[in-house]
């Protein structure tokens, strides 16, 4: 194998591949990356058996071949080279790295023991998005979940398609976010489906995938593939059923609050300084429903309150929230004004805006 490649192209691919290199594995081969050339195409890939990442690189191909290289030493060499162009050449059990003023020889291994990154079945479900739109949607929704070994079915992002509507939903049982996409926001020829993408996979996809083109998301019964022009990420899906969350989504709140979003974010941050270890802050309506009061107090620290102008309609209320969960929800929206909708002190509060009618965030109150 022999090729000449730009340093930045190789380095960016190695940075992406690192996410799937398993440095703690009992299988030494998983500490390597695969580098192969066939039919004038250069591929760099890695896998930890849960996640597989494949990068398609451009460069000058001189001779085909395939090898596996210890990731750590290869990455450190490429990262610290000062030359723009790098020549890679493998012979026997060695690979030579050359640049204008540098040369190194690394021990390599054959590809026989390197795991094959699984492919998606031919009858897969395919959805196509604009890449930046996909990343924006997913990053907002996935805010509402976190990794959990106890309940893997909520440790991920649920993708559900029915009646020409695509839903992205995430929850950790304390908060929930949903984004609805209409048919003009994506392309698919598939029928109804539902799948749960692992939280860790989504985190890596958001970090790795870039560009202004399109991304195709394909999955079968067990695996999911994210594919752009230059990258592929393959992962297992979460087994199990996503909770039936529709019953907890308020249809109509008894109290509606319209308030400036940035002012509310600042007030939550400020008031949280006095929150207890439970991260609790109190939201209540002020006199004549002309302002929203945000209060926090701790017997060992003190107390404070913020009063914000607001338009409040409906019943009086006093409700306690985890300020971190509330703040996470406020941050995923854009625009100046935000709507808060309350039913009762023991039911979740809905957050949404006029401009984002297809996105909402629920946050559960703290019960005392």
Residue 157 burial by Cβ neighbours in a 10 Å radius (0-12, 13-18, 19+): buried
Global pTM reads: 0.90
CATH number of the domain where residue 314 is located: 3.10.150.10
Quick one: 184 exposed, middle or buried, by C-beta within 10 A (0-12, 13-18, 19+)?
exposed
Contact 66, 3 (CB under 8 A): no
User: Quick one: which of 209, 192, 210, 193 has its CA closest to 201?
Assistant: 209
**Within-domain flag for 228:** yes
Distance CA 219, CA 45 (A): 20
Counted domains in the chain? 3
- For 263, the 3-state DSSP assignment is helix
| pLDDT at residue 135, rounded to an integer | 95
Sign of CA dihedral 280, 283, 284, 290: positive
Q: What per-residue confidence (pLDDT) applies to 288?
A: 84
Integer Cα distance of 333 and 358 in angstroms: 11
Structural domain contains residue 50: yes
Looking at the DSSP bridge assignments, the partners of residue 95 are: 90, 106
Please identify, among 107, 135, 154, the residue that sits at the C-terminal boundary of a domain. 107
343 lies in a domain?
Answer: yes
Domain range for residue 322? 250-363
Q: Identify the pLDDT of residue 368.
A: 62
**Is 281 part of a structural domain of the chain?**
yes
**According to the model, what pLDDT value does residue 210 have?**
82
Per-residue confidence of the chain (368 residues) as pLDDT tens digits? 999 999 999 999 999 999 999 877 788 999 999 999 988 999 999 999 999 999 999 999 999 999 999 999 999 999 999 999 999 999 999 999 999 999 999 999 999 999 988 888 777 889 999 999 999 999 999 999 998 888 999 999 999 999 889 999 999 999 999 999 988 899 998 889 999 999 999 999 999 998 789 999 999 889 999 999 999 999 999 998 999 998 888 888 889 999 999 999 999 999 999 998 889 999 999 888 899 999 999 888 899 999 999 999 998 999 999 999 999 999 999 989 999 999 988 899 999 987 557 999 999 999 86
Residue 202 lies in a domain: yes
Same domain, 101 and 130: no
Q: Do 226 and 256 sit in the same domain of this protein?
A: no
Same domain? 292 vs 224: no
Q: How much is the pLDDT for 27?
A: 87
What pLDDT, on the 0 to 100 scale, is given for residue 355? 59
């Amino acid at each position: 194998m022999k090729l000449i490649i730009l340093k930045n192209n190789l380095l960016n691919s190695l940075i992406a591949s690192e996410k799937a290199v398993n440095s703690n594995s009992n299988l030494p081969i998983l500490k390597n990356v695969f580098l192969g050339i066939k039919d004038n195409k250069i591929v760099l890939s890695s896998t930890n058996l849960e996640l597989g990442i494949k990068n398609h690189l451009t460069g000058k191909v001189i001779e085909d071949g395939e090898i596996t290289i210890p990731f750590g030493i290869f990455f450190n060499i490429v990262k610290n080279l000062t030359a723009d162009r790098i020549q890679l050449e493998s012979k026997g059990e060695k690979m030579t790295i050359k640049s204008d003023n540098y040369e190194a020889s690394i021990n390599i291994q054959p590809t026989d023991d390197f795991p094959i990154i699984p492919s998606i079945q031919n009858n897969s479900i395919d959805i196509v998005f604009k890449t930046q739109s996909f990343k924006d949607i997913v990053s907002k929704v996935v805010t509402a979940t976190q990794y959990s070994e106890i309940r893997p079915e909520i440790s991920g992002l649920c993708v559900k398609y029915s009646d020409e509507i695509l839903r992205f939903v995430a929850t950790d049982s304390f908060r929930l976010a949903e984004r609805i996409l209409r048919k003009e926001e994506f392309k698919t020829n598939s029928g109804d489906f539902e799948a749960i993408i692992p939280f860790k996979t989504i985190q890596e996809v958001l970090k790795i995938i870039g560009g202004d083109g399109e991304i195709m998301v394909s999955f079968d019964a067990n695996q999911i593939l994210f594919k752009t022009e230059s990258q592929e990420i393959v992962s297992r899906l979460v087994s199990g059923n996503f909770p039936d969350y529709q019953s907890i989504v308020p249809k109509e709140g008894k109290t509606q609050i319209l308030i400036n979003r940035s002012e509310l974010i600042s007030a939550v941050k400020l008031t949280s300084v006095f929150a207890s270890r439970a991260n609790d802050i109190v939201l209540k309506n002020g006199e004549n429903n002309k302002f929203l009061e945000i209060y926090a107090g701790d017997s060992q620290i003190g107390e404070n309150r913020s009063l914000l102008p607001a338009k409040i309609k409906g019943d009086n209320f006093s409700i306690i929230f985890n300020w971190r969960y509330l703040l996470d929800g406020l941050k995923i929206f854009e625009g100046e004004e935000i709507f808060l909708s309350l039913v009762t002190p023991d039911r979740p509060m809905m957050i949404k805006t006029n401009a984002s009618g297809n996105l909402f965030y629920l946050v559960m109150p703290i019960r005392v």
